[in-house]
Amino acid sequence: MKKKRLPVVFLLAAVAAVGIYAGMRYRREVYLPEQAMQADEAQLHMLIEEIRPELPETVQTAEQDLLAEARSGCADVVAWIQIPDTQIDYPVVQAEDNAFYLDHGPDRAENRLGTPFLDCRCLPDFSGFTSIVYGHHSTKKRMFTQICDFRNPQFFAQHRTGRLILGAEVRTVRFFAYLNVKSNAPVYHTVFLTEDEKKDYLAMLLSEALYKEDVQPETLADSHLLLLSTCSYEFDNARGVLAGVIGEPEVPQQ
């Protein structure tokens, strides 16, 4: 009987060892990283507050660069994106590749939260047919996490517009579709040579959307599109993509 009990003892010891290991791994991979994320978030929040553009009560003309202070803190800042009543209110940077700002703040210092960044293939003034901005999906609604809230049609309906600050211009962004796609989906295409290619792209985007406005590809072919992208975890390499149209510059109020 004693011999038969030995395997049980060893089994219990193994289970205990696994439990201890799992606890240590959890502390290393979940608890401690969250503490580190909080530290990075505090550092990033402080920096963002320092460089956040102050919009006047009346929209200014090209005589005033609304991003001047932000650019003084980071020359790579090309825009500022805001979606009212969400936590999305961040500078947008652009580097020579799509890797650097995955783990660097707008001051180019290392930061696990990264910085929302414009695809390096896109024009820095957002004048191309598509402008794609990437941001991390993290805990506690950090960075672009709330992009995934647009999966909810009611949330989408209540947050139909955003604001894109470009130098001296403030432009309204009207969101018209939300998609769940793979990271290599054709929606991330950035080169269009003909009008037919644009219409084919728009037809694909609208067909892939979870929901969308009742619009036709022809009506959007002359638009400048803004795509906000983040990880969404429904399946391997899933991405949530919020698509919008960049409007004309807001007219100064008299």
Which residue do the tokens 């505090």 mark?
Answer: 42
Q: Which of 6-15, 24-33, 54-63, 102-111 has the highest mean pLDDT?
A: 102-111
Q: Which two tokens stand for residue 22?
A: 């799992």
Mean pLDDT within 8-33: 41
pLDDT at 7 over 60: no
Burial of 173 (0-12, 13-18, 19+ CB in 10 A): buried
| CA atoms of 127 and 224, how far apart (whole Å) | 7
Q: Which DSSP letter does residue 114 get?
A: -
pLDDT tens column, 125-146: 999 999 999 999 887 778 899 9
Question: What's the confidence (pLDDT) of residue 249?
Answer: 85
pLDDT tens column, 48-72: 999 988 876 655 555 678 899 899 8
Tell me which residue of 221, 211, 217, 216 sits closest to 242, measured CA to CA. 211
Q: Which two tokens stand for residue 216?
A: 């036709």
CATH architecture, domain defined by 51-249: Beta Barrel (2.40)
pLDDT at 168 over 70: yes
Quote the mean pLDDT of the chain.
85
In the chain, domain spans: 51-249
Higher pLDDT: 3 or 157? It is 157
* Geometric angle at alpha carbon 40, from 104 and 126, rounded to 5°: 40
pLDDT at 22 over 50: no
Alpha carbon separation from 211 to 69, 176, 242 (Å, rounded):
38, 9, 11
| CA atoms of 80 and 123, how far apart (whole Å) | 15
How much of the chain exceeds pLDDT 70, in percent?
83
